Amino acid sequence: MTDAWFAGANPDDPSSGAHRIREGRADAPADWPTTAVEDGFAADEDDYYEKLRAATLTAARDAVSERERADDKQLAHAVRAMDDAERTANELAERVVEWAGTLYEDVPRGLDGVRDIAARDPTTAAEERVVSYATRAVDLLDERDDLQTFIEERAPTIAPNLSEMAGPVLTARLISLAGGLDKLAKSPSGTVQVLGAEDALFAHLKGRAPSPKHGVIFTHEYVRGTRRQDRGSAARAFAGKLSIAARIDYYSGDYRPEIHTELAERMATIRARAEEGDE
């Protein structure tokens, strides 16, 4: 019996070989083409390579779609799309408001202005264009909100502990920045703490700047709502528990109330420093 990918595989069915290609292992390579011909898996070398090609293509296709369909990847795409939609909508909004201001007297500022313009009845060709343009921006804003709803629905099933701790959107951002829930679960908490602050981190490593205290987790109330001199501690405590949450979510997937209580207590202690008045 050999470790070869074709051992026990049906020569006429690429998917049985594909499964072995994905799951199998061997301690060392060998002259597989010759072995395959000797074992009767293939008629000759050309036939072997043809079968190998069919099986590797099937294996690669299956493995890619499985990994890409994985829910954590969907969450990462959704949050990036949400950010794109928001950024683009804001960009369009600026143009709409600026343009509309030359045609109408009473244009509210910002995104309210865009919704206001989109709802108007154009009377001239120029108004028609600006209203149509505003409509696109509004559609994009709605899409952004739909994406957020999608993330809020999905995140708690994919990562229950992270979602409870960080909120669905920040959870999606952390997964996206780490490159997947698996990667996040394998990251040390120091990495989780500065995810999203890569520029500052590399500036620090080059010796040009102090080490960043927090990355994208700054958007959470636990960090932002803590007074400046305690933010480093808050970010460290928060990141520590987040990385534990990521590991539970990835390796077991069940909800553990105790880690949330522990974090809440720790945060209360850190914030109590402000009331005690010590520096």
Partner 1 sequence: MSDDLPAGVERRSFDGRERLSTQGTPVYGEPTDADGWRAWDATRSKLGGMLELGMDTGLVGGETVLYLGAASGTTVSHVADFAGPTYAVEFAPRPVRDLVGVAEARDNLFPLLKDARDPESYAHVVESDVDCLVMDVATRGQATVAVRNRQFLADDGRLLMAVKARSEDVTADPDDVFDDVLDELEPAYEILETARLDRFHADHLGIVARPK
* Chain residues in the site for partner 1 (CB under 8 A): 3-5, 20-22, 24-33, 49-50, 52-53, 56-57, 59-61, 63-64, 67-68, 202, 205-207
Long-range contacts from 67-74, C-beta under 8 angstroms, 24+ separation: 70/180, 71/154, 71/157, 71/158, 72/158, 72/159, 72/175, 72/180, 72/181, 72/182, 73/180, 74/154
Considering beta carbons, is residue 30 or 274 the nearer one to partner 1?
Answer: 30
Considering beta carbons, is residue 8 or 110 the nearer one to partner 1?
Answer: 8
- Judged by phi (left if over 0) then psi (alpha if -120 to 50, else beta), residue 196 lies in left
Rounded to a whole number of angstroms, the minimum distance from the CB of residue 53 to partner 1 is 6
Considering beta carbons, is residue 52 or 107 the nearer one to partner 1?
Answer: 52
Rounded to a whole number of angstroms, the minimum distance from the CB of residue 74 to partner 1 is 13
Considering beta carbons, is residue 27 or 258 the nearer one to partner 1?
Answer: 27
**3 state DSSP class of 207:** coil
Considering beta carbons, is residue 59 or 159 the nearer one to partner 1?
Answer: 59
The answer to whether the CB of 136 falls within 8 A of the CB of 93 is no
The terminus-to-terminus CA distance of the chain in angstroms comes to 70
**Maximum pairwise Cα distance, the chain:** 86
Rounded to a whole number of angstroms, the minimum distance from the CB of residue 116 to partner 1 is 41
Closest listed residue to residue 59, CA positions, set 16, 28, 30: 16
Rounded to a whole number of angstroms, the minimum distance from the CB of residue 223 to partner 1 is 26
Rounded to a whole number of angstroms, the minimum distance from the CB of residue 50 to partner 1 is 7
